[in-house]
Structure 1
Amino acid sequence: MVNERAKADFTDILDDFRDQMRTITQLQQQRAAVTASASVRGKRVTVTVNADGTVIETKFASNIDDLDYPEIAKAVTEAAQQASAEVARRSREIMAPVSQNRNRLPRLTELVPGMPDLTEALRIPEPPLVSTAPPKAPERRAAEPDSDDSRRNRGGATDSGW
């Protein structure tokens, strides 16, 4: 009798898992279709990005010549960053049900007596925030392991110690 109950429970868990996989597939398809646009400088520059944050369109208004080249470059960067942030926000919203469903599934320790709880040990750490600073900005150079400064200090074929 206990064995039949265990089989039924396992079947229910497998059904829940299959439902979860179908849901994830549907949500991933929804997420893949997401785009976002941002306009800056009085809507003179508009950038649209796809779900991965890749720029897929850039538009300049007819009065773009009111800006000089450095202002246009800065505006394009700013609009792309705003659009990418919006895509990331929408993607989190779309994928939120996955986390909610995961929390209602039983843990392995609940199914297998004596199984150690590895939840914390297997938790994937949060990734660090990614800088939006330009390539040669001091904040980015200081964080890069292979920055010019660190290369200079490493020595090499042109090092005076040769």
Structure 2
Amino acid sequence: MTRENGEIAKADILEGFTAQMREIAEASRQRTRLIASASAAGGRVQVTVNADGVVIATRFSSDIDELTYEEIAKAVTTAAQNAATDVARQGRELLQPLRDKRARMPKLSELIEGMPDIEGKAPTVEPASLAPPRSRERLSQLGEPGPEFGNAVGYEAWTEGQDKRGATDSGW
């Protein structure tokens, strides 16, 4: 009788595992179809990304020439980052039912005596920085010092006495 119960339990576990793999495969297929778009610079720039956050389309409005190259570059970056954030949110929402179901299932350490809790030992993945290359934040992550300006003067000190100066000042 005990052996029979064990076989039934194994069959139930295998059936549950197979069903869960089908659900994961379907969620994965649905995820690959996700896209998100975001606009910046008053709608002059629109960027669309796929489920992996990779840019798949960039569109400029007819009045894009009113922006400088620097403003366009910043708008493209901002729109791409916002679209990537949105598609990541969509992906989390899509996969949340699977995570909830998994959380209700017993852990391997609960099923096998002496098995350590593997999930508790998994490292956390930190989000990647959105800072531009060679920025202070990126350099500090690499252990490189950011640019330092030893001769910088505070605004108050710099503007002190400025009201007496003008275009005819000898400093020009």
Q: TM-score range by the shorter chain?
A: 0.7 to 0.9
Counterpart CA distance in 2 for 1:20 and 1:80 is 33
* Deviation of 1:109 (Å): 4.0
Q: AA paired with 1:58?
A: T
Counterpart CA distance in 1 for 2:105 and 2:56 is 38
Q: Do the aligned residues in 2 keep the contact of 1:37 with 1:46 (CA within 8 Å)? A: yes
* Deviation of 1:45 (Å): 0.2
- Give the TM-score, by structure 2 length: 0.78
- What SS does structure 2 have at the residue aligned with 1:6? helix
- What SS does structure 1 have at the residue aligned with 2:48? strand
Instruction: Indicate how the Cα distance of structure 1 residues 58 and 101 shifts in structure 2: closer, same or farther if over 3 A, else same.
Output: same
Counterpart CA distance in 2 for 1:107 and 1:6 is 18
Counterpart CA distance in 2 for 1:22 and 1:3 is 29
Counterpart CA distance in 1 for 2:8 and 2:56 is 49
Higher RCO structure, 1 or 2 (CA under 8 Å, sep 6+): 1
Aligned residues: 146
Match of 2:151 in 1: none
Match of 2:133 in 1: 135
Match of 2:102 in 1: 102
Match of 1:152 in 2: none
Instruction: Indicate how the Cα distance of structure 1 residues 17 and 119 shifts in structure 2: closer, same or farther if over 3 A, else same.
Output: same
- What SS does structure 1 have at the residue aligned with 2:14? helix
- What SS does structure 2 have at the residue aligned with 1:52? coil
- Deviation sequence 1:84-132 (CA, Å, 0-9, x none): 00011001111112212212333334444xx224225663221122110
Q: Do the aligned residues in 2 keep the contact of 1:44 with 1:60 (CA within 8 Å)? A: yes
- Give the TM-score, by structure 1 length: 0.83
Match of 1:73 in 2: 73
Aligned runs of 1:121-160 on 2, under 5 Å?
123-144=121-142, 147=144
Counterpart CA distance in 2 for 1:111 and 1:130 is 36
* Deviation of 1:47 (Å): 0.2
- What SS does structure 2 have at the residue aligned with 1:42? coil
Instruction: Indicate how the Cα distance of structure 1 residues 128 and 100 shifts in structure 2: closer, same or farther if over 3 A, else same.
Output: same
Counterpart CA distance in 2 for 1:124 and 1:110 is 17
Counterpart CA distance in 1 for 2:97 and 2:70 is 43
Match of 1:118 in 2: 116
Alignment RMSD, CA only?
1.8
Q: Do the aligned residues in 2 keep the contact of 1:20 with 1:101 (CA within 8 Å)? A: no
Q: Do the aligned residues in 2 keep the contact of 1:40 with 1:78 (CA within 8 Å)? A: yes
- What SS does structure 2 have at the residue aligned with 1:37? strand
Counterpart CA distance in 1 for 2:133 and 2:15 is 49
- What SS does structure 1 have at the residue aligned with 2:128? coil
Deviates more, 1:118-127 or 1:27-36: 118-127
Bigger radius of gyration among the two:
2
* Structure 1: tracts of 5 or more residues without a match: 150-162
* Structure 2: tracts of 5 or more residues without a match: 146-172
